[in-house]
Structure 1
Amino acid sequence: MTSKTNAITSALSGLPAIGDDLADFYRDLHAHPELSRAEQRTSEEVARRAKALGYQVTAGVGGTGVVAILANGDGPTVLLRADFDALPITEATGLPYSSQTPGVMHACGHDMHVTCLMGALKLLADARASWSGTVMACFQPAEETGQGAQAMVEDGLYDRFGTPDIVLAQHTAPLPVGVVGAHPGPAMAATDALRVVLHGRGGHGSRPEVTIDPVVMAAATVMRLQTIVSREIPAADAAVVTVGMMRAGTKDNIIPDDAELRLNIRTFDPGVRTKVLDSVDRIVKAEAAAAGAPEPPETSVIDTFPVLNNDPDALSRTVAALRETLGDDRVFDPGPVTGSEDAGIFATAARVPICYWMFGVLDPALFGDPDPVRGLGNIARGQVDLATIPGPHTAGYAPVVEPSITAGVSAMTTAALTWLGTSR
């Protein structure tokens, strides 16, 4: 065994002793979710715990962000990132530690991310005799709005705490617990979220002939938008156009003045992104003109996420270590994922590589086999109806506490020690 392998094995041997505390921490976070940029309680608890581990902690970075530093001699600086905001979803898991905040839920696993990073920080602090360098833990707010990473960078993250040599981040996935997925190159899609307001001329529902109906205009626009991917984007390219919201009117017999659409667009290639956005603009304007709209539609940006590009060489090094720790058959390439992430901003701003991976957190039995690897095989063979399995951003998303925490802590600790220096 190499000295790195020995260091990883030794560090992970401390995980069973902290398992119960981490599980309690996770359940507490899950029960007290907070929306983007309002994560005050979460931030305070994260800062308190990191300080107790001996880290130099600074809160309020980029709003509610927390940075925890452990300097341990000469060597690389490794940025470990976890996001901690929740979503405006009413939880329906029935768990005994369900959300106590009405209409807010940790439906994307960010509570698990924080728990796993905190566990890794404990193991790294205890194992500091075996490594050298600096651990920079970034607990990030507002990932769901695409604002948090940029806010921390703009708040002087690297001027105040130094520039890392690598960025490491992970995310829960609706996969069997115990498996890890990582894809080199464009791994997570760019997102453009748009708000479109279509203007009509309202009136009584009994006299539509004297109105310009924005509801019909909106319906026609929604249908036409579906042709962008199917008729304008080559089959070899990836793109998603979703109309997630259509809102208009107040009563059945009143034709309103306006209708609002909210769109979500996912792409991996800059050229495809430009094509899709141009097509959306063309269609929205054309449908309004065809309907005789009294004024042009208004389009504004809600939020945007860049493509997350995993550095192939850096990811290869990290994945090799994960295979050794977790098992060769438990680490796979899922291909590009159409979900989006702002973690890449940390790497882009520092001009360093990023390694980002997904780790399964669901009961393998949901995938037709108690063995996670065989369950993964069932997915690949199309033997699992994924529509029946609650995933992120749904009211039923329920990671199993264990062994999800063990898997996430093991992955983050392994990756960190892979990039930190070896103590002589």
Structure 2
Amino acid sequence: MINRVVFIAVLILTFQFVYAQEKTLIKQIDKELGKAISSKVILYKHLHENPELSFREKETSKLISTKLKSFGFEIIDNIGGYGFAGVLKNGEGPVIMYRTDLDALPILEKTDVSYASCKTDTLNGLETAVMHACGHDMHMTVFVGVAELMSKMKNNWKGTLVMLGQPAEELGGSALLLENDLFLKIPVPSLALAYHVSPELEAGKIGYIPGPAWAKVNTVEITVHGHGGHGAYPHQSIDPIVLSARIILALQTIVSREISPLNPAVVTVGAIHGGKKHNVIPDDVHMMLTLRSYSDEVAAKMISSIERICNGIAASAGLEKKEFPNVVEIYNSLPPGINNPELTEKIAQVLKKEFGETAILKQEPSMGAEDFYAYGSTSEKIPLCMLRLGSVSKETIEEHDKSGTPLPGLHSSYYAPIPEKTINTGVKAMIITLIQLMNEIPLHTSTQQGHE
């Protein structure tokens, strides 16, 4: 009986000690973040005003890596173009990688924020506007905030923090970093983390998805051939524009009639180009497609169906087999985004203790895609987790709910996260997560490999 009483007393004292430690840590995070937040808002607005397209992130990469270097990180640059890693070693412990993307999109910004992008660049020989319409500017800002606070709070954790700046997320840039021997240049991580902003989730909240979270991507291009001619004499030609229209309509039946309703799938024709003059029927039409799924089998079925439909419609128009459309997968597909369930649930429970159950929300998988998950598809089998960072004001959400209009989504010319609350939540949540994981997970067997 006495032993049981003593045990309970020790247990209570232990819980009180741990609770006190946690409260002290949170106060320190809040204090440091309070001092840093104004400079991070300024950084965010600068990044938003100065976007750079994929594989052209020279100034962005230089700015972010220079900031990490000033915090004491060792910088390893020129990893797959403008990619870089900042490494902060802090004694024996696990290796955790935290990744941000760097690139922007060829989109004309239509927001009304005072720091809207007016930048332009050339793409495929044509001038284009450039905008951070996917929130990578917010990802980078939070990333810098996390690096700064982790360097100031080294007395609270042990291990190695690897901060990875990745170019060209919009074009699958993670593959290029891996092809450039990323895990021979940096310590091999025990696990890897990342954020993606959510254009539907209120700022101050974080979403998590254990298991399948983002779709697999296949990028396909179709060249439809025909027999060109004069627009006044269409009967003397085989019109590839008409054939393309028939193909586009027929492609809509792949998901609705050939794929099981239990298997998520998307076929989208995102671009079609053909002809240069009002009265000339062209010889060819070029189409660009994105395919989304969660399995290799569904992806293969969609590509096979596209080829069959294209060939069937071409044959029905009288084209010979050698003139059938060319269907080409133009680059390697992205794997489906699978968050490690155990890791993701663990992080969610840690964050719920600080932010509350109503702020850390379990969400549904998306048909969007993320090249972050390529880092988990190597032989190292690194566990991954990407959290979704709320970025929209409560008032904006209520306004759109009332009007029945959808919120501006990712890649929308009207998408603009609210800066301070989004940054504050993102930095605080990631710091809590990193310190908790650094102090809990065992040493990874692969941490002795790679960069010295």
TM range (shorter): over 0.9
Cα deviation, residue 8, structure 1: 4.9
Match of 1:397 among 415, 419, 444: 415
1:99 is matched by which residue type in structure 2?
A: S
Corresponding residue of 1:210: 236
Q: Confirm or deny that 1:85 pairs with 2:103.
A: yes
Corresponding residue of 2:447: none
SS at match of 1:302: strand
Instruction: Confirm or deny: 8 A CA contact 1:168 1:416 kept in the other structure.
Output: no
Q: Confirm or deny that 1:235 pairs with 2:264.
A: no
Change (3 A) 1:139 1:351: same
SS at match of 1:392: coil
Q: Percent identity?
A: 35
2:222 is matched by which residue type in structure 1?
A: V
**Alpha-carbon distance in structure 2 between the residues aligned to 1:9 and 1:259:** 61
Q: Confirm or deny that 1:61 pairs with 2:79.
A: yes
Match of 1:51 among 55, 69, 90: 69
2:153 is matched by which residue type in structure 1?
A: A
**Alpha-carbon distance in structure 1 between the residues aligned to 2:215 and 2:65:** 31
Q: Confirm or deny that 1:299 pairs with 2:317.
A: no
Larger CA Rg, structure 1 vs 2 = 2
- State which drifts further: 154-163 or 192-201: 154-163
Corresponding residue of 2:394: 364
Cα deviation, residue 356, structure 1: 0.9
- State which drifts further: 206-215 or 303-312: 303-312
Cα deviation, residue 232, structure 1: 1.0
**Alpha-carbon distance in structure 1 between the residues aligned to 2:318 and 2:433:** 58
Match of 1:317 among 315, 333, 346: 346
Corresponding residue of 2:88: 70
Cα deviation, residue 421, structure 1: 2.4
Change (3 A) 1:12 1:78: farther
Cα deviation, residue 336, structure 1: 0.8
2:186 is matched by which residue type in structure 1?
A: F
1:250 is matched by which residue type in structure 2?
A: K
SS at match of 2:170: coil
**Alpha-carbon distance in structure 2 between the residues aligned to 1:158 and 1:280:** 37
SS at match of 2:241: helix
What is the Cα-based RMSD across aligned positions, in Å?
1.8
Unaligned runs of 5+ residues in structure 1 are 370-374
Give per-residue Cα distances to partners, 1:66-99, cap 9 Å, x unaligned.
1000000000000001101000101111321111
**Alpha-carbon distance in structure 1 between the residues aligned to 2:261 and 2:204:** 33
Instruction: Confirm or deny: 8 A CA contact 2:203 2:391 kept in the other structure.
Output: yes
What TM-score results when the alignment is normalised by the length of structure 2? 0.87
1:344 is matched by which residue type in structure 2?
A: Y
Corresponding residue of 1:372: none
Change (3 A) 1:12 1:288: farther
Corresponding residue of 2:193: 168
Give per-residue Cα distances to partners, 1:271-298, cap 9 Å, x unaligned.
2222212111211221222222351211
Match of 1:17 among 13, 22, 35: 35
Cα deviation, residue 4, structure 1: 5.8
**Alpha-carbon distance in structure 2 between the residues aligned to 1:105 and 1:66:** 22
Cα deviation, residue 6, structure 1: 4.7
Instruction: Confirm or deny: 8 A CA contact 1:88 1:104 kept in the other structure.
Output: yes
Residues 12-161 of structure 1: pairs in structure 2 closer than 5 A: 12-102=30-120, 103-146=129-172, 148-161=173-186
Residues 345-360 of structure 1: pairs in structure 2 closer than 5 A: 345-349=374-378, 350-360=380-390
Instruction: Confirm or deny: 8 A CA contact 2:271 2:289 kept in the other structure.
Output: yes
Cα deviation, residue 9, structure 1: 4.8
SS at match of 1:420: helix
Cα deviation, residue 331, structure 1: 1.2
Instruction: Confirm or deny: 8 A CA contact 1:203 1:210 kept in the other structure.
Output: yes
Give per-residue Cα distances to partners, 1:224-272, cap 9 Å, x unaligned.
0000111111212111111111111112211110011111111012222
Unaligned runs of 5+ residues in structure 2 are 1-17, 121-128, 442-452
Instruction: Confirm or deny: 8 A CA contact 1:194 1:300 kept in the other structure.
Output: yes
SS at match of 1:36: coil
2:388 is matched by which residue type in structure 1?
A: M
Corresponding residue of 1:187: 213
**Alpha-carbon distance in structure 1 between the residues aligned to 2:310 and 2:24:** 60
Give per-residue Cα distances to partners, 1:157-183, cap 9 Å, x unaligned.
211211000110110011211121111
Instruction: Confirm or deny: 8 A CA contact 1:87 1:107 kept in the other structure.
Output: yes
Cα deviation, residue 418, structure 1: 2.2
Instruction: Confirm or deny: 8 A CA contact 1:173 1:358 kept in the other structure.
Output: yes
**Alpha-carbon distance in structure 2 between the residues aligned to 1:207 and 1:388:** 45
Instruction: Confirm or deny: 8 A CA contact 2:222 2:327 kept in the other structure.
Output: yes
Change (3 A) 1:8 1:153: farther
What TM-score results when the alignment is normalised by the length of structure 1? 0.93
1:318 is matched by which residue type in structure 2?
A: I
Corresponding residue of 1:332: 361
Corresponding residue of 2:406: 388
Change (3 A) 1:188 1:216: same
Instruction: Confirm or deny: 8 A CA contact 2:29 2:428 kept in the other structure.
Output: no
- State which drifts further: 247-256 or 205-214: 247-256
Give per-residue Cα distances to partners, 1:26-76, cap 9 Å, x unaligned.
111111100111100001101110111111112211110110000000000
Matched residues, number: 410
